[in-house]
Amino acid sequence: MSDNNFVDYVKICCRSGKGGAGSMHLHRSKLTAKGGPDGGDGGRGGHIIVRGDKQFWTLIHLKYRKHVIAKEGEGGGSSNKTGAEGKDEILHVPLGTIIRDAETGEVECEITEDGEEKIIVPGGRGGLGNDHFKSSTNQTPMYAQPGLEGKTEWKILELKVLADVGLVGFPNAGKSTLLSVLSAAKPEIANYPFTTLAPNLGIIKYRDYKSFVMADIPGIIEGASEGKGLGIRFLRHIERNSTLLFLVPADTNDIIKEYKIL
């Protein structure tokens, strides 16, 4: 996967659908000239939903989708018919994606399993039809509820790579080379610092036809926490690794010092 195709951060404006209005209807038929209320409820507006999909490894398919708008619910009908619900908008995301509120930065949910779904912006509730408001003192109510408005919220989607082993080391420590030898991954390898600008993933097979995922993380240097080098942008990708494998070249001047820095 090329660096340009690895997108681990997107900001999207999500607008859920408005709920449909309840119906203000009185029953009429050939046999009933003045029937009671039978207005149905409006359908709820469409939700904005995120769904985990193991077929995705990056958020690039959402990079240029700045606005996601769900459909409105339909109004209620006669004979207590409920209006159709607005169509939901489903965003497929790779496993390891977290969703934040763009204003507060608060983590609202995270997707870690294939097929897992979370509603990030609920649709507006449909209004009640006039049938709900009949009573002994008001047998023919001439009013119904309007549907509730949908919500418009900005969301941040961040991908944290889910890997079994994360390779951590200084630039040019041999992380990409090791990954290319152990797996079929073909990361860019060159004799200059920061050749790797985005995480690379490789699947490594071992005994009994089992396998595990290894991630090659961009190089870390002393002072990365203060923004030096590539900073801490890619550190999120090692938060969920089951094992961290530190790589220190054998020809390093001070192996213990470099290990402690890492």
For the chain, what percentages of helix, strand and coil (3-state, to nearest 5) are there? 15, 25, 60
How many alpha carbons fall within 13 Å on the CB side of residue 180?
11
Q: Is the pLDDT of residue 133 over 70?
A: yes
pLDDT for 162-192, tens place per residue?
Answer: 778 888 888 888 888 888 888 876 665 555 4
Both tokens of 191, joined, read 């004799």
Q: Is the pLDDT of residue 72 over 60?
A: yes
Both tokens of 181, joined, read 């030898």
Please give the average per-residue pLDDT across 208-219, as a whole number.
Answer: 81
Question: Using CA of residue 161, residue 167, residue 170, residue 174, what is the dihedral sign?
Answer: negative
Domain architecture of the chain: domains with CATH:
1-159 (2.70.210.12), 165-261 (3.40.50.300)
Close Cβ partners of 251 (under 8 Å, ≥ 6 residues apart): none
* Per-residue pLDDT at 39: 94
Question: Using CA of residue 55, residue 56, residue 61, residue 65, what is the dihedral sign?
Answer: positive
* Per-residue pLDDT at 196: 52
36 or 197, which is more confident: 36
Q: Is the pLDDT of residue 197 over 80?
A: no
Residue 215 exposed, middle or buried by CB count within 10 Å (0-12, 13-18, 19+): buried
* Per-residue pLDDT at 173: 84
Q: Which of 116-130, 157-171, 202-216 has the highest mean pLDDT?
A: 116-130
Beta-strand runs (E) in 143-234: 152-159, 165-169, 200-206, 210-216
Give the Cβ contact number of residue 140 at 10 Å.
13
Both tokens of 48, joined, read 């904005």
Q: Is the pLDDT of residue 224 over 70?
A: no
Q: What is the pTM of this model?
A: 0.73
User: What average pLDDT does the structure give for the chain?
Assistant: 86
Selection from 146, 119, 20, 25 nearest residue 72 by Cα: 20
Please give the average per-residue pLDDT across 134-149, as a whole number.
Answer: 92
pLDDT for 7-33, tens place per residue?
Answer: 888 999 999 999 999 999 998 888 777
Tell me the H-state helices in 56-145.
none
Count the residues in the chain.
Answer: 262
pLDDT for 28-71, tens place per residue?
Answer: 888 777 888 999 999 999 999 999 998 888 898 999 899 999 99
